[in-house]
Structure 1
Amino acid sequence: MGEKDKSILDIINKRILILDGATGTEMQKRGLPPGVSPELWSMENPEVSADIYRAYARAGSDMLYTCTFGGTPWKLEEFGAADKTEQINCKIAQNAVKVADELSEREGIRPLIVGDIGPCGRFIMPFGDLDFEQAVLGFKRQVRGLIDGGVDLFVIETQIDIQESRAALLAVKEICGGFTMVSMTFDETGHSLNGTTPEAMAVTLESLGADVVGVNCSTGPKEMLDIIRRIRKMVQIPVMAKPNAGMPVIKDNETVFPMAADEFSTFAKPFAEAGVNIMGGCCGTTPTHIAKLAQSMEGLVPLERKPVETAMLSSATQALITGSNSTIRIIGERINPTGKKILQGELKAGNMAYVRNLARDQAAAGADLLDINAGMPGIDEKQTLLDIISSVVPVVSLPLVIDSSDPDVVEAAVRYYPGRALINSISAEKEKLERLLPVAAKYGAMFIVLPLADNELPDKAERRKELVMEIAERAAAYGYKNKDLVVDGLVMTVSSNPQAAKETLATVRWASQQGFGTVLGLSNISFGLPERGWVNASFFAMAAGAGLSWAIANPSHELLMDTKAASDVLTGRDRDALSYIQRFAKDKNTEKKKETTAKKKTDLPVEDQIVEAVIEGRREDIERLCNQALEMGIAPSELLEKKMIPAIMTVGEYYDARKYFLPQLIASAETMQNGFAVLEPALQASGSNKKKGTLVFATVQGDIHDIGKNIVVLMLRNFGFDVIDLGKDVTAEKIVAAAQTHKADLIGLSALMTTTMVRMPEVIALAKENGLGCKVMVGGAVVTREWAESIGAEYSSDGVEAVNVAARICMDKG
């Protein structure tokens, strides 16, 4: 961290800083036309932007965001200006810096200028189709422009995709290493659109180098407080909040946020008590809101940030807390081709369906993490490991252990992985230590310490301890603490060395006492012996007593997992034996259920395999299965109505219950679509391909966001609706004309921004003027059920609800 960044942190540590409020609505008040790029308009009207900067600075804002929220090349491309990304961001930033300098000279206040980086409008791999490295490069273009414009620090805000947050953060850190704040948005259930929890976000971004993490937009201040508390418990860095002024409503045909400045400011003390270090306002907040907030924050001091005592890993969706108080964590070992001919064949063929099933099975069996390894001859190990990550991340919520002997492969994997990974492993071998320690530190990964040295495999605990300390001391220079390292006790087979177990247990006991995590690959201990399961389980119990915290094992091994459950109770890790009781409090049909569960998916009737494929989002299997079913003479209408549609309805139920999130919903919807494409010719030939209704969909004028609308359209088409998708930024006239031409049963409207919501009632009014009898359904991130009712529209929160609404309306018409 440079001197400038340290000075920013020093200010944050002394008092709670005030951010600015909403920019888009302030620009509208000053003449921003609908459907125009705010960035281009800001560049062409610098004095208007300057007026907004001054207003917030005089209201008490310590930091001012540049008017570059949509300044990514992807957003600017919508207006034909992607090639000018650097120049546009530079010019807007220069205008903000000029205002700050003038305020400093004339009024004695000098707010920090924050380069604002918003979402790119696309999902990034493994959740979408935008290549991760291309995303990093695109964000770097915006970062360069902001740097040239003279910004003091950066904010990456309003993020819904943890992978996009990572890409943007890496762009900043790799270009200049500048002080960076990152904030995501969460729904009322406490998840991002992709299912990320505040805890997972906090762990992932702090480990990757974010200087501040927090939340913006999302909700009003009352609902945001709990999210701030949850984030605060997970990190040692400052926390920021930028809530809306309540949730939007329509008043006099205008989108308004109901929370007045006085009420907004009453949340200053609760946010300070929740641990916020930086606070401002998002949608609906004005300079008056910020002035009142600043007044209420006077005299309030930030909470002391205490060290986080436990080590934490994260997946794209969940955080995993480790340490002496947690149960022993099981690292599933099955995604490793060594000695596994079937997996080797599937990896050579590029078949990731098998890998996904291994991941799901291990998660269901009780694994806490998954070790992934692609080390075998005849394949591109790096690309295969990246493919495994892409395949596994959307289907299980467990953190991953990156396992490779090739440092280049490890670096590629931890760079791409959308969480905080565990590296397996870093030894005292000179080349690997020098190569991998900087990699682990750059991407914030924890790692397993393997007490090996060049040409040395120590069989005594004392030498292992020396090597562990050598690695730990080197890691400390990169900021690692003992809690972030997991010591491998180095299991050797007891059949060839009777003292092997004793030396390993001594290593585990010592490492645990030093505050390290500890891990063992259990099965090595019994190599060459009969009935190995008993030896492994007994050794596991002994290691648990010595302080073992992680075990690499097959979670499907019942004896081992039962031993783990008992060991957690006996070592005091399973409080009140709750997990133990839950594991064994099963009915009399347990064994029968196990047999049924263990039955291979390929043993199921093909129509049931189709159901499983849709529910699990197995895009690559569905076409083969549908063709197989048709060849067997199963009626296409039966497959669609009795199998595929009920399956996608189950997916919808999982989504509503937050068992599934957007990646799983998209995977299942696309699987359904691929299957329907196979069935459609047969359905048409049999005359059973009747459309359920005709729908016209569009994102309203002035709004260029269409991710949510596209997902809804995909779901509706899967259910047999004829959907005419007009795209984004569509005028009311064009929407109504399309509805007339196609004799639509329903018009669907989407809006992401509060500034474009007002276009929805315009469409409704025009439809009535033209005598259209069809209803209108609205949705989008900022749209609420109450707001929809106030304009006389139907409401859907997501694609699943949209299907139900459309079905009801079309049935009523029919």
Structure 2
Amino acid sequence: MVLDGGMGTMIQQRNLEEKDFRGQEFKEHPKSLKGNNDLLSITQPEVIYSIHKDYLLAGADIIETNTFSSTSIAQADYGLEDWAYRLNKASAEIARKAADDVTAQSGSRRYVAGSVGPTNKTLSVSPSVERPDFRNITFDELVEAYYEQVQGLLDGGADVLLVETIFDTANAKAALFAIDKLYEEGYERRPLFISGTIVDKSGRTLSGQTGEAFIVSVSHAKPLCIGLNCALGAMEMRPFIETVGKSTTAYVICYPNAGNSDLHLHLADTLYFSLAISEAMKHGHPRVPPSQIFEDYMLLSGLEPFRIGPYTNFVNIGERCNVAGSRKFAKLIMSGNYEEALSIAKAQVEMGAQVLDINMDEGMLDGPTAMARFCNLIASEPDIAKVPLCIDSSNFAVIEAGLKCCQGKCIVNSLSLKEGEEEFLLRAKIVRRYGAALVVMAFDEEGQATEIDRKVEICTRAFKLLVDKVGFNSNDIIFDPNILTIGTGIEEHSMYAINFIKATRLIKETLPGARVSGGLSNLSFSFRGMEAIREAMHGVFLYHAIKDGMDMGIVNAGNLPVYDDIDKSLLQMCENLIWNRDPEATEKLLLYAQNNAKGGKKVIQTDEWREGSVEERLEYALIKVIKSARVMKKAVGYLIPFMEKEREEMLAISGSTEDIDPYQGTIVLATVKGDVHDIGKNIVGVVLGCNNFRVIDLGVMIPCDKILKAAVDHKADIIGLSGLITPSLDEMIYVAKEMERLGMRTPLLIGGATTSKTHTAVKIAPRYSAPVVHVLDASRSVVVSSQLLDGNVNEEFFEEITEEYEEIRQDHYDSLKDRRYLSLPQAREKGLHIDWLSHPKPACPQFIGTHVFESYDLRKLVDYIDWKPFFDVWQLRGKYPNRGYPKIFKDKTVGEEAKRVFDDAQKLLNELIDTKGLQAQGLVGFWPAQSVGDDIHLYADGGSPRDSQPIAKFYGLRQQAEKDSASSDPYLCLSDFVAPKDSGVPDYVGLFAVACFGAEELSRQFESQGDDYNSIMVKALADRLAEAFAEELHARVRKDLWGYSTEEYLPAADLHRIRYSGIRPAAGYPSQPDHTEKVTMWKLAEIQEKTGIGLTESLAMTPAAAVSGLYFSNPKASYFAVGKITKEQVEDYAHRKGMTVAEAERWLAPNLGYDTE
């Protein structure tokens, strides 16, 4: 079939002037419009129609619409971005009319191809030489623009969609994404043509891909035709079209156009090309059986193609670009040194990695931003970008962020069935839309598969779902049947390696086309620190697994030994361990490690064990210590008279009058002034007591002078400070300053949920010249305290801490220098701008004002309890895949103890409900509200926002830290979720406060009986009930009291995952980190008077088991973290709020993006 010729050339021959381009409709348009050829479809439709008709009468079978530059992005240069849909629809209608007229005239059907051009932006290349990770367009923005364009083309009558002149494959993938999205939303599917552009004789696109890599990257869209156009003349294009023909099973399309002005040369060139190309095209003709070309191949691509076929050797997926698996990589990424982190990626490729695994799953990272930035940087390095990427994350948002930055065909690692078929299918469809291959874990709703039958069963189920319901090519499916750790000493783990290998064989035999992969380092995790043994195990395991069908694996490229080169005795021990032939294989390997060295590398356990948590090292359950405390106290109480008598006898014998202290040391513990939270502190006290420390627990809300006086009176060896709310950090700094002023030398321990090692190093330690140590949890407190009081090691320990904290401080200050921020006006300009007039009006609550809930029925709350934080209190943390409730009960290490403490909790909870030992009180309120800039004004019932004064104002803080260039995310502030005052749309805001009373009194009763376990338990349950009250009440608000989501029905698990509409952010937390906003809430709703819930001087709520926050109903409302902000915003905020800058800085200290000193 014959395609028409160039539209631009024909338009130029018309010699149109500015006034012709403007027509009547754009006569007063402020910008010059001459040269905007696409606009002629509106201003000079007869000209475009005549050009189409001339081509059709000359023999064209297909004509292209006049829409090459009709995206909103390209039209923005002319100030016509809002006309994109109309341009495309009008152009398609003109072409449709011309085609239909000539069809009727000739009797031969003619077709309209909707032209979708590349835009004038590129996703794969930075417009800034200085910032290779910067992009001036995002994938989402391109999808939105293409969606609008294609919608217009389809509505206008296009028969075919032609995505053409592709110089950046990532742009084309955005267009294909938009097209598929439209089809899924109901548009009839049309044939798809895809045409790339080779920019020179190197055979690569502008963004660096080879022709074959380009074909691989876009073939997921199943085009009818694929090929090349523009840039080269016919003769130059021939070898590249031949490559296309060999690389696809689609028809081949080509339309060379190098601007050849010599008609005779052009005709000769074209004749030669036509003869040659007919032969080349045969390679891609659909009548050639696909099985002869690609049926057995997995096709991936970076800048270059990568084929995995029946005879491909084992594929090494480089593992070192993983923040969880490489300390060096993690440190570079966490410090913002992405450019140097690229060197790790480059080294992996140089050492033989054929695919690069990228993982940014770290709690302190903004995963999507980090993933996008690193992928963008990889795109700027051809030596790295040549290989395909494996986007690896347990967070699907991070996976999408990576896919949006990759022009090649990636692997997604991974999805599973653990959240059910519906979620699995939804995400799998999205992955397919991006054109990626997919790793599926052998994991379903019942948990991780360890046995052969379960592995095969889950993989078979996933395979059928992907092929039958999603339309995945089986060659794009990779299964990970779970390489699990052996050599743990646990009997059931001994078969893990065998089960993987045997399951692999069955998967390859029964699921045609599917590949098998796995994370190799998991196998040898028991031998962490003994690298020679680990490498030998990996080499032996792969030797056997590959023979049974394992295709690829995530490995440390370059560090895999050859099977025959492994020391024979070590080889035999590894074989015995992997095949479970010797019950003593683990012990023999450990003995080997102690006695041997190989290749200059010591095969002994290194100090890497120190990197593990204390729990991992000591391997005891904290809960057992706490539960045993009561027995211990009784035993000690019985023994004390005998110990006292013995002490007196020893004094008499020695003749000494000096008292002998039986304790390892004395520790004064306190929750600082203004803070009422003490569960963590109480656990620390019990654990220290069980380890022979004398613990003086001063309680909660203890001012500095009382803490220091108690330390002197009791001759304390250590002082421990605890706090949960942000203002407590300032109080801790004050205590450290006072200790320095008084010349004290007592070591200071810092702990609590709001504290961190960085804050301790940067803000507290410099104020006190004696040891200051951040203690992560109760177990760690024993180790730290023992080292501080051990005369043999305390000086060395203090030096280590000082050196470590100095390094942390330096890294912190360096990161402040590297951070970039938008100015406050820029951040506001890039905020979330909702089109309030086109959305349904916000729902009106059932009442205005407050409603109090007294003596709320605790039974209603039980089903809403989120048990994960409960287990966190006891430091019971299951390892993947047994994290969270109820999966934690299956965990080999803590599962049994978790079940016991859960059963104890259920028993106590039932007692508390039956005896009314705890009482729940709460309040909700609603008011008319409008946003004014970054603030929210609330009004009395019946008052018009335009005419009346607000009765309260909530002040907002806006994100300022610069987001990744690939991100289209807005810079959020809570006021974005409320209709602006000038919008004319009435809106509302709610608030709530709930609490569980009685826990303190019960806790003291248990403590007086020596029952520390239940003393802590009752507080932990009160906390869970308060949070459950907040969750249950929010559900009632959504469905009834406010009624903006009346049809909602969600199980508790989905509520905890925040799968509902609307949010309830709390003051003092990430979306509004200023605790002083509570004062406004308490005054407005008279919370203390109506519920008894109070505020301390540091604005902590009393009782401690209390929750409060605001309600927002807008469906676009989401939780976010304000993050670091600049002094410009702090000054603006302080001015709006009527406080001093110093006061604002004090309340916002953790969020300051600058140093105040």
Q: TM-score, normalised by structure 2?
A: 0.43
Structure 2 equivalent of residue 190 of structure 1: 203
Structure 2 equivalent of residue 353 of structure 1: 339
- Give a deviation string over 1:652-711, Cα, whole Å, max 9, x none: xxxxxxxxxxxxxxx9xxxxxxxxxxxxxxxxxxxxxxxxxxxxxxxxxxxxxxxxxxxx
Q: Is the 8 A contact 1:228 1:276 kept in 2?
A: no
1:417 aligns with 2:406: yes
Deviates further, 257-266 or 185-194: 257-266
Q: Is the 8 A contact 1:180 1:212 kept in 2?
A: yes
Compared CA separation, residues 148 and 481, structure 1 to 2 (3 A): closer
Q: What amino acid does structure 2 have at the position aligned with 1:421?
A: C
For the residues of structure 2 that align with 1:211 and 1:302, how far apart are their CA atoms? Answer: 10
Structure 1 equivalent of residue 212 of structure 2: 199
Q: What amino acid does structure 2 have at the position aligned with 1:365?
A: M
Cα offset for 1:303? Answer: 4.5
Compared CA separation, residues 470 and 317, structure 1 to 2 (3 A): same
Structure 2 equivalent of residue 539 of structure 1: 541
For the residues of structure 2 that align with 1:435 and 1:94, how far apart are their CA atoms? Answer: 35
Structure 1 equivalent of residue 761 of structure 2: none
Secondary structure at the counterpart of residue 154 of structure 1: strand
1:365 aligns with 2:351: yes
Structure 1 equivalent of residue 483 of structure 2: 491
Structure 1 equivalent of residue 524 of structure 2: 526
Cα offset for 1:305? Answer: 5.3
Secondary structure at the counterpart of residue 18 of structure 1: coil
Secondary structure at the counterpart of residue 448 of structure 1: strand
The two structures, once aligned, show a CA RMSD in angstroms of 3.2
Compared CA separation, residues 215 and 376, structure 1 to 2 (3 A): same
Cα offset for 1:42? Answer: 5.0
For the residues of structure 2 that align with 1:184 and 1:229, how far apart are their CA atoms? Answer: 14
For the residues of structure 2 that align with 1:462 and 1:335, how far apart are their CA atoms? Answer: 33
Over alpha carbons, which structure has the higher Rg? 2
Q: TM-score, normalised by structure 1?
A: 0.60
1:241 to 242, 254, 263: 254
Structure 2 equivalent of residue 23 of structure 1: 7
Deviates further, 107-116 or 267-276: 267-276
**Correspondence 1:673-752 to 2 at 5 A:** none
Deviates further, 209-218 or 264-273: 264-273
Structure 1 equivalent of residue 509 of structure 2: 513
For the residues of structure 1 that align with 2:564 and 2:38, how far apart are their CA atoms? Answer: 60
Q: What amino acid does structure 2 have at the position aligned with 1:403?
A: D
For the residues of structure 1 that align with 2:51 and 2:215, how far apart are their CA atoms? Answer: 31
Compared CA separation, residues 211 and 358, structure 1 to 2 (3 A): farther
Compared CA separation, residues 561 and 108, structure 1 to 2 (3 A): farther
1:134 to 141, 152, 175: 141
- Give a deviation string over 1:64-91, Cα, whole Å, max 9, x none: 0012222233433333433322222322
Secondary structure at the counterpart of residue 371 of structure 1: strand
1:550 aligns with 2:552: yes
For the residues of structure 2 that align with 1:92 and 1:276, how far apart are their CA atoms? Answer: 34
1:453 aligns with 2:449: no
Compared CA separation, residues 371 and 561, structure 1 to 2 (3 A): farther
1:312 aligns with 2:298: yes
Structure 2 equivalent of residue 769 of structure 1: none
Q: What amino acid does structure 2 have at the position aligned with 1:559?
A: P
Cα offset for 1:385? Answer: 2.0
- Give a deviation string over 1:733-780, Cα, whole Å, max 9, x none: xxxxxxxxxxxxxxxxxxxxxxxxxxxxxxxxxxxxxxxxxxxxxxxx
Q: Is the 8 A contact 1:212 1:239 kept in 2?
A: yes
**Correspondence 1:321-340 to 2 at 5 A:** 321-338=307-324, 340=326
Cα offset for 1:171? Answer: 2.6
For the residues of structure 2 that align with 1:48 and 1:40, how far apart are their CA atoms? Answer: 11
Secondary structure at the counterpart of residue 278 of structure 2: helix
Structure 2 equivalent of residue 180 of structure 1: 192
1:59 aligns with 2:58: yes
Q: Is the 8 A contact 1:314 1:320 kept in 2?
A: yes
- Give a deviation string over 1:5-24, Cα, whole Å, max 9, x none: xxxxxxxxxxxx22112222
Structure 1 equivalent of residue 990 of structure 2: none
Secondary structure at the counterpart of residue 48 of structure 2: helix
Structure 2 equivalent of residue 405 of structure 1: 394
For the residues of structure 2 that align with 1:259 and 1:140, how far apart are their CA atoms? Answer: 40
1:502 aligns with 2:498: yes
Q: What amino acid does structure 1 have at the position aligned with 2:7?
A: T
Compared CA separation, residues 106 and 39, structure 1 to 2 (3 A): same
Q: What amino acid does structure 2 have at the position aligned with 1:179?
A: P
Compared CA separation, residues 316 and 502, structure 1 to 2 (3 A): closer
Compared CA separation, residues 119 and 339, structure 1 to 2 (3 A): closer
Q: Is the 8 A contact 2:168 2:205 kept in 1?
A: yes
For the residues of structure 2 that align with 1:521 and 1:130, how far apart are their CA atoms? Answer: 35
Structure 1 equivalent of residue 227 of structure 2: 214
For the residues of structure 1 that align with 2:563 and 2:207, how far apart are their CA atoms? Answer: 31
Q: What amino acid does structure 2 have at the position aligned with 1:428?
A: L
2:160 to 129, 153, 156: 153
Number of residues paired by the alignment? 526
Structure 2 equivalent of residue 390 of structure 1: 376
For the residues of structure 1 that align with 2:564 and 2:35, how far apart are their CA atoms? Answer: 62
Q: Is the 8 A contact 1:330 1:366 kept in 2?
A: yes
For the residues of structure 1 that align with 2:221 and 2:214, how far apart are their CA atoms? Answer: 11
**Correspondence 1:242-321 to 2 at 5 A:** 242-244=255-257, 247-248=258-259, 255-256=261-262, 258-261=264-267, 264-275=270-281, 303-304=287-288, 306-307=290-291, 308-321=294-307
Q: Is the 8 A contact 2:89 2:154 kept in 1?
A: yes
Structure 2 equivalent of residue 766 of structure 1: none
- Give a deviation string over 1:394-440, Cα, whole Å, max 9, x none: 22122111211223333343344322211112333243533432222
- Give a deviation string over 1:479-506, Cα, whole Å, max 9, x none: 2343322222422233143333322221
Secondary structure at the counterpart of residue 151 of structure 1: coil
Compared CA separation, residues 148 and 486, structure 1 to 2 (3 A): closer
For the residues of structure 2 that align with 1:494 and 1:364, how far apart are their CA atoms? Answer: 31
Structure 1 equivalent of residue 862 of structure 2: none
Q: What amino acid does structure 2 have at the position aligned with 1:324?
A: P
Structure 1 equivalent of residue 930 of structure 2: none
Secondary structure at the counterpart of residue 219 of structure 1: coil
For the residues of structure 1 that align with 2:282 and 2:4, how far apart are their CA atoms? Answer: 15
For the residues of structure 1 that align with 2:309 and 2:76, how far apart are their CA atoms? Answer: 48
Cα offset for 1:466? Answer: 1.8
Q: What amino acid does structure 2 have at the position aligned with 1:239?
A: V
Compared CA separation, residues 563 and 335, structure 1 to 2 (3 A): farther
Structure 1 equivalent of residue 429 of structure 2: 438
Cα offset for 1:55? Answer: 2.3
Cα offset for 1:475? Answer: 1.0
Q: Is the 8 A contact 1:272 1:302 kept in 2?
A: no
Q: Is the 8 A contact 2:41 2:90 kept in 1?
A: no
For the residues of structure 2 that align with 1:241 and 1:483, how far apart are their CA atoms? Answer: 28
For the residues of structure 2 that align with 1:460 and 1:474, how far apart are their CA atoms? Answer: 22
Q: What amino acid does structure 2 have at the position aligned with 1:162?
A: T
Compared CA separation, residues 351 and 116, structure 1 to 2 (3 A): same
Cα offset for 1:376? Answer: 1.5
Q: Is the 8 A contact 1:273 1:303 kept in 2?
A: no
Q: What amino acid does structure 2 have at the position aligned with 1:386?
A: A
Cα offset for 1:219? Answer: 1.9
Q: Is the 8 A contact 1:209 1:444 kept in 2?
A: no
Q: What amino acid does structure 2 have at the position aligned with 1:268?
A: S
For the residues of structure 1 that align with 2:296 and 2:374, how far apart are their CA atoms? Answer: 29
